Amino acid sequence: MGASPGLPGGGRGGAGAVGWGERWESAPRVRVPFWCSNNHETRPSFASDAAVPETWDCPRCGFPAGRDQANPPGPPRSEPYKTHLAYVKERRSDSDGAAILAEALQRLRKDI
């Protein structure tokens, strides 16, 4: 859609909207609450004849959310933690780079 210059803003909400509603009512939807481990509640809606998944991605923090508020699924693996560890290791093995940097800094100081 977007801005259509020819149409006044109030043009919507008439017969077109009613037609929409009728179509959706023929396929009833249910709202299913999910909770993530940060206690965020999200309630996506599903077609009543669709299978409701066990988990749902929390739209706020991205964690998986479950249908049992008292027992939400844990964080999505320890992937971020692993990445951080790898990052630390990388930095340790990168001490050559640090030495080069220190040397460069010393030279810079001498120049000043």
Q: Which of 35, 56, 58, 72 binds Zn ion (CB under 5 A)?
A: 58
Count how many residues are written for the chain. Answer: 112
| In the complex, minimum distance from the CB of residue 49 to Zn ion, in angstroms, rounded to a whole number | 28
Could you tell me which stretch among 30-38, 71-79, 81-89, 90-98 binds Zn ion (CB under 5 A)? Answer: 30-38
**CA gap 11, 21 in Å, rounded:** 17
**CA gap 109, 16 in Å, rounded:** 73
Among residues 40 and 67, whose Cβ is nearest to Zn ion?
40
- Taking residues 80 to 109 in sequence order and writing x for each that binds Zn ion by CB under 5 A, - otherwise, the string is ------------------------------
In terms of C-beta density within 10 A (0-12 exposed, 13-18 middle, 19 or more buried), how is residue 42 classed? middle
Nearest-10 Cα torsion for 92, 96, 101, 103? 130
- At 65, the amino acid letter reads A
Q: Which of 12, 43, 60, 84 binds Zn ion (CB under 5 A)?
A: 60
Q: Does 69 bind Zn ion (CB under 5 A)?
A: no
Q: Does 66 bind Zn ion (CB under 5 A)?
A: no
Residues that bind Zn ion (CB under 5 A): 36, 38, 40, 58, 60-61, 63
